Amino acid sequence: MTDSPRPIARERRKVGAKTDDAAAKRPRRTKAEQRAESLEQILDAAEYLFSRHGLYGVTLRDVAERVGIHTTLLHYYFEDKRKLFEEVFARRAAVTSGRRMTALEEYERAAGASPTVEGALHAFLDTDLDLYYEGGERWMNYAAFCARVSNTPEGAVLMDVHFDPVVLKLVSVLKRALPDYSDEDIFWGYHFVTGALMNTLARTGRIDRLSGGVCRSDDFPSVKQRIAKFMAAGFLALRDGA
């Protein structure tokens, strides 16, 4: 007399059958979908590495090893490392600049004839901080990437291309809020704002150590509570360089 199949074995066969059925029913990804997924993986890996080592501290081999592919596949998508660098920068730039432009336009309409420095800075800064913080690790990597490369010649060129329109929009609102201020003071004021923003986005951990953990460099909500008000006070103290 033979033993009947064990319940566990029968259950495994059932699970296996269900898995096979599910796999059969699952639509196969098109070549375009596979290509898009591979491209995203490459860009994510490059973004992470560039955010920590900059353009010249990363090789295509580094990116390939992080993704788990051969370097030749990178050349299928990108002519060289600089093209990859530029694509990493551009991929999220349109999103962040677009959101800030929308926020500034909405604030401008709401403020009418009486915009304030703090209101304009909230529209410009809060929108970006929310995007990075709520977007998770990948967006935080992009923030650090922008902070690192913004002070390099190759990064500055990309900043000009992708972010000048939204920066000049902020400046135009600030000029309406401060009609008696010189262009020189307003542009210097913006320069100081962007310096503080980039230092924040870099998340170096220095504020964590200095404060003994009271402040954390990744605590963007706390930054958001303070930065616009702090920078607005600086603008108001700048009149004609006084």
Is 68 inside any structural domain? no
Contact yes or no for 238/189 (Cβ under 8 A): yes
Domain that holds residue 98: 91-241
79 is a domain residue: no
Residue 145's nearest CA partner among 69, 170, 122, 137 is: 137
- Rounded to whole angstroms, the Cα distance separating 3 from 206 reads 69
- Count structural domains, the chain: 1
CATH of the domain at 202: 1.10.357.10
**Residue 152: inside a domain:** yes
- 3 domain-assigned: no
What is d(CA 231, CA 233) in angstroms, rounded to the nearest whole number?
5
Q: How would you write the pLDDT of the chain (242 residues) with one tens digit per residue?
A: 444 445 544 544 554 555 455 545 556 768 777 787 889 999 999 999 999 999 999 999 999 999 999 898 898 899 899 999 999 999 999 999 999 999 999 999 999 999 999 999 999 999 999 999 999 999 999 999 999 999 889 999 999 999 999 999 999 999 999 999 999 999 999 999 999 999 999 999 999 999 999 999 999 999 999 999 999 999 999 875 55
Query: pTM for this one?
Result: 0.81
